[in-house]
Amino acid sequence: MLVMMITLALVVEISGCASHRPRGFAAQREEIVTAAVAQIGVPYRYGQSQPSTGFDCSGLTQYAYAAAGLNIPRVSSAQRTAAYPIAMQAIKPGDLVFFATAPGQQHVGIMVDDDQFVHASTSRGRVRLASLNKAYWQKHLLGAGTFVIQPQVANVTKPNGNSPFGEL
């Protein structure tokens, strides 16, 4: 019940008045978060990326970014490689957070605010909110990235010319 109340409060706070939406990057971030939060409770399904079939973690992020008109790679490792890196202190709603959850396995979620992120959870079997400050997520955190980039930032060279996170 508490999760449902938080979800409703987030959707109301983020979406505001639909007839008066902000323009530009703020609007894209809002659309990403709104699309992701609206999927809370949808079942986890490996390899899926639609509300009707369920989501895996990267399917959810790809779906939410597409709702904002942004085409991003399908799998979490490719999303991490292609995203523009950002410092954890600079994360904003709509940015992606990446985790190493098992050897050779990555997980991704979408920031909702400065602590909560939404993700398709394998262990809980559904799309849900989680706190970035929980010990589990802190232990497995790889970093953050975004595809919502201002034009003057988009031309900056990534650290190794390849991955925005250095050596993978």
Higher pLDDT, 159 or 76: 76
The pTM of the full predicted model, rounded to 2 decimals, is 0.78
Decide: 101 and 72 in contact? Cβ < 8 Å: no
| Catalytic choice (17, 20, 107, 140) | 107
DSSP 42: P
Active site residue 57: yes
Active site residue 140: no
Residues 6+ apart with CB under 8 A from 30: 14, 15, 16, 21, 22, 93, 94
| CA 67 from centroid of its chain's CA atoms | 12
Q: Partners of 100 in the beta sheet?
A: 106
Domains and CATH numbers, the chain: 2-154 (3.90.1720.10)
96-105 pLDDT, tens digit per residue, is 999 999 898 9
Whether residue 107 lies in the annotated active site: yes
Q: How far is CA 129 from the centre of its chain?
A: 11
